[in-house]
Structure formats: structure tokens, C-alpha cells
Structure 1
């Protein structure tokens, strides 16, 4: 990756790799015209948090890659070019809201308001689902109100976030440090010095955490609310 590349260069590269025009890209992001896409690509304007999340979701790329170019363009697979069985933008109904406690954990998902919300999210996992993170305890890694895509069938990658559910029913976002055949070494999201080792017998499931999207991208799921 050339150090001379700009944010605009990477945005153009990601858009063109999907075969999208600027108008089509704007439509994916929920914008009425292509002018914002054009300004970002030409470096006339820098995307704020909400726009960066929209672009990353629409293109299926990492926000960190857009900003720095230093990390993989996206986890879990190649950018989609329309091939069956690869990455797609999928419509996901929110499974609920995670009311995160002071230790970053929760036991049950609560209903979202309005009850039936859905979001278009980039994922290669047909079993993916979305949850909304509530409360500020995981900030800045997970923002209050942010919608997080969970990918049960994506590969686990050290250094990336996972959702761990232990056999006592507690769920928690953590960072995967090391994966052994019989155990996982995990790091806390709030405290990087927190280190937890869990055996496979202690874990009900451990899922890859995919895109994190702003709540403004969610809309009422008319298919299920009728």
C-alpha cells in the first residue's frame, strides 16, 4: 500500500472494485446525489463518523482501512463483485438491544424501539444478525446506540473483536488474542490489560464481530411490522 494514497484514493478504489458509479454509491449510502461521494474522493471534504460508517458499510470495507490504508480492506473475505456465495449487502432485522453493564456484559437482549428495526449491512455470512449496543460502557470501541453485525459463520481472526457467550448465559464483546485448540485467550474491550483465558467447555459460542454501523442507518422493517 503506497503511503502517498489518500482517503479519497482508497474510497475511489473500493467503489470502482464493486463496479459502482458515484450515483450508485451515493444511493447505497442513502444520499440523494453523488456530490458527497465526489467531494470525498477528490479530497474536498473529509467524512465524519456517520458518513465514514455509511461508506464502509456500503462498500464492505474497514473504516480503519479507509482512514489509514494499513489494515486489511475487510475481514473474512474478498470484496463482493456479485458472485454468489461471497460478500453481499444483506437486510438484517435487529435481534434486540444489548444493555451493557459496567463490566461490558449482558444476559438478555431487550426489544429495540420501534420494535421492528432492520439495517442493510455488508456481510458474507448468511446467518449474520444485528444487535444494538446501548449504554456508554464500551466507548469508544463500541459507541452508544451503535448497531453491530454478528457473524456466526465467519472465521475468527486474532486482533479482531468477538462476541463470547459463556455457559452461565453471559454475553460480552472481547478482543481475540490467541486461539488454541482447547482454549481462547481474550482481551477486554474497555481495558486492554484485562486478559481472560476460557476453555472451549466454558464457552457456549464465540462469534466474529463484523461491521459496526450508526443507528441512523436503521429503518423500520416493514416486512415484519405489518
Structure 2
């Protein structure tokens, strides 16, 4: 376990609750500067660990279990980058490339040529596919170059991370804030980026992210 993994997990926990790192510290009753970049290194330039008391307070404040936090630290569930893993092979393209025509059929299932493949642990959905994240709108949870596994068959609920493709060909990875009979409201996990609201008639599909490599 590395210092940066623990700090990344704190950043990810903050983002999942729509907070900055200082906002998370404030929510936990800590000094708002407790998680600032300047507090992550000592005067000698060496990396510092957050205190166990600080971690305990943010877990309590956000209702997060230690197992869930450990998953954020390790990046689990994760697919080792550059190594084959047992299971099955599914199609893979870049997030930006997914906006082009010819990669999905009318039902939102992956079709056509141009897909690469990736080995993943068994995913029960026969139409599952993988997208390589581009950009920083999902940081710190998903970073540029991470690969997410998407399941068209998985039920989508509020708070799920999803991939959305509009009928205009826009493809984005976001968090589902709420869905009504007519509209869908999406949030960027990176608070520096805006959210989006679409009418259901503007969307080609919305699929749930079920796995990620980090």
C-alpha cells in the first residue's frame, strides 16, 4: 500500500459524495485543510499518511465501511493492466471513439468491426463491453486511460456510474443522480465539470458501469 493510494481513496470518497477534499474534511469535523496537498508531504518532502483518526472520522461521516474504503485504496474491483486474466474476452474501444457510427446497434449493443478485445473476469451479460476513459470528468474515481466494463443488461439505479450515448452521438461516463419518466439527470464525479440533464427521448442508451481497471 502506497501513500498516494490512500490519498487517492480519500479524494475518490470525497468525489462520490459530491465534495472536494476540504469539503470532506469539514463534513467529518476536521480542519478544512487536513487533506490539502500541502498536508500530504512533510517539511522534508517525504510523503505523509493521513491519521487513522482522520480516516475513521471521514468513514463515519460518509457512512462508508472499512471494506469499501479498502476497495478504493486498492482500486478494487480492478483488472491488472497489461496482464491476461481468466474469464472471457469482450470488445473494447475508446470512450471518444464510441461516439462514432457503426459501433452500436439500435439496441445499444456492441457490433461491427473496429473493436479491440480485453480479457476480464466472467461477466454474466453476453453483451458486455469495455471503454477506455478519456478526459478528467470522472477523476479521481476514474482517470484518463482507465478501462471500465459496461453491462447493458445490468439494472441502473440512482447513484450508479453509467455510460450514456445520446442520439447525437455524444458518449459520456457519469453518475446517475435521478431519473424520472421523462428526464435523466447526470453528474460529473469531478466537481470541476458540469452535470447534464437529458430528456429520455434524447438518449440512445444508458448502461451501467460494473467493473473498472485502475
Normalising by the residue count of structure 1, what TM-score does the alignment of the two structures yield? 0.46
Give the number of the structure whose residues are more often strand, by fraction.
1
Relative contact order, CA 8 A, sep 6+: which one is greater? Answer: 2
